[in-house]
Structure 1
């Protein structure tokens, strides 16, 4: 059985993620108390369901503290277990609640929306630490669909290296394990011919490849990952997210992420260019 446990902050896209999995043929259960996870999985397994997705969040608050114990029990079973945690920046979540006019699940306690979000982060901290994090701050619903499908299709018996470009002016990704700042490198943005292009375009790649500083930065990042990736793999990590940021996330970081993905082609690599994504229809 392949079991996906989904959790995260209210407004981060959990319902979208669960719907994606349901459309992909998963048997889905929404808002299950943590204590019932092992029992439900055993019962479902008896009926030969091969793909199951279950969401756990603050709506079952009294039982959240038991989630790590439930996960420990599930890991003893012969199943492909994956934990996904969706999150977003506080200002993004506030905007989403304002635009949809939805109430936060914790608002009945008399808290403001920012206070609800921070309390929810604290309540879900134990789940957050166990899971592969997905920052949906800059994602559209369609982009989240693609991202979820990629993660689900990855071989869970191997470490998945996720490499991501981004622009610092849009904020640092919340889901990054390592963040590298390459704003000190020569910037193609100041060349009028290169400005409208991206790091995926050959003229930008030629420009950056000719700069010694760019090559030195790339070799330092590649060398660090080559040294430590086996250690993360031996530590039974399922995912490692490496983010490289430049000012706008269009040229330098995109180029270096593509180089990095090629350098680790023998590994299981997923590529994501955050700022090159269309930003309409935000979750």
Structure 2
């Protein structure tokens, strides 16, 4: 089975928008390095002319346009329709987001004023911008939360999503730890915490799910085989349909408590299963390099105990 490679597809027109301070400049720089034609803060009235030029020539390169509250004529309600009105391109919207606390921290570091709060605290502008761009977030083809992404990580994420020329579905399998926050880049999230935790096995604690003893340990646990079989069937069903609907990137994330054992083993095993199905998944282990942490693991296990019904 193949993912459905398409030939001679129209170039992509990507609107890069979202929250100010969420990384729009980094995204546009990365796309430019990948051969895209990019422009930031383009007035909306010039969109058609920038994409096709005054002679309306057929464009070959992909185009990324950055627009936000600073752009002249910025109308979040009208932008999706305007994007779709550009002929001979594949329009997409990438909405960049981050938590309010992270955006405030970034504005504090750069000492820049928020564009919607020139004489007010940054949090006031952030709240206004969330309301202003809510319609764009709902209309977006992809929402990318950059809270936990360093600039280098963000560039890697963009290469996975957009460095492939968009001619094949880009599948990324991620492992992560719930105790350090849910994966913010995943479309689908699967929870491995129903399995016994290898962290509490002394000889397995310093190892990870990439090591054979841990992989063997989880593989014999009750429910593992059925979980993997059913998840594989679900992904095999969904991925071609995402592609046919126009989606070019899908992220599936496997989570456990600390992100070092069960989730890593599951991500590696699922990626291998999908390769046998004809896909070419990338693998990203978010928390693999972190040290084992008893208090973190114990805290999550205690929370699970408290959520169970009392007899």
TM bucket normalised to smaller: 0.7 to 0.9
Shift of 1:55: 0.8
Quote how far apart the aligned CAs of 1:102 are: 2.5
Structure 2 distance, partners of 1:268, 1:235, is 19
Q: 1:42 aligns with which of 52, 56, 59?
A: 52
Quote the offset at 1:107 in angstroms: 1.4
8 Å CA contact 1:85, 1:132 repeated in 2: yes
Q: Distance in 1 between matches of 2:74 and 2:91?
A: 24
**Cα 1:154–1:170, aligned 2, differ >3 Å: closer, same or farther?**
same
Please tell me whether residue 117 in structure 1 is matched to residue 143 in structure 2: no
Distance in 1 between the 2:33 and 2:39 partners? 13
Flag structure 1 segments of 5+ consecutive residues without an equivalent: 279-283
Partners of 1:149 and 1:156 in 2: CA distance = 11
User: In the alignment, which of 248, 253, 258 is matched to residue 268 of structure 2?
Assistant: 258
Tell me which of 30, 40, 45 is aligned to 2:40.
Answer: 30
Contact 1:13 1:136 in 2 (8 A): yes
1:281 counterpart residue number: none
Aligned mate of 2:84, from 72, 83, 89: 72
Q: Which moved more, 1:126-135 or 1:153-162?
A: 153-162
Match of 2:297 in 1: none
SS at match of 2:264: helix
How far residue 72 of structure 1 moved from its aligned partner, in angstroms, is 1.0
Change in CA separation of 1:19 and 1:202 when aligned onto 2, cut-off 3 Å: same
Cα 1:35–1:119 shift into 2, 3 Å: same
Q: 1:89 to 1:194 in 2, by over 3 A?
A: farther
Q: Give the direction of change, closer, same or farther, for the CA distance of 1:267–1:126 in structure 2 (3 Å limit).
A: farther
Could you tell me whether the CA contact under 8 Å between 1:9 and 1:121 is conserved in 2? yes
**TM-score w.r.t. structure 2 length?**
0.77
Residues 108-143 of structure 1 show CA distances to partners (whole Å, capped at 9, x for unaligned) of 273x43343233223223332323222222111111
Tell me the equivalent position of 2:69. 58
Residues 35 and 61, structure 2, Cα contact 8 Å, conserved in 1: no
After TM superposition, list the pairs within 5 Å mapping 1:188-203 onto structure 2: 188-203=198-213
In the TM superposition, what whole-angstrom CA distance separates every residue of 1:209-264 from its partner, at most 9, and x where no partner exists?
A: 22233223222322322333344334333333322211122221122122222222
Cα distance change of structure 1 residues 80 and 65 upon mapping to structure 2, 3 Å threshold:
closer
- What residue is the counterpart of 1:242 in the other structure? 252
1:127 aligns with 2:139: no
What is the distance in 1 between the residues matched to 2:279 and 2:62? Answer: 25
State TM-score, norm by structure 1: 0.84
Alpha-carbon spacing, 1:262–1:115, altered in 2? closer, same or farther (3 Å): farther
How many residues align structurally? 275
Q: CA deviation at 1:68?
A: 0.6
1:176 aligns with 2:176: no
Large movers: runs of 4+ above 4 Å: none
Distance 2:124 2:175 in 1: 31
Give 1:98 deviation, angstroms.
Answer: 2.4
- CA drift at 1:193: 3.2
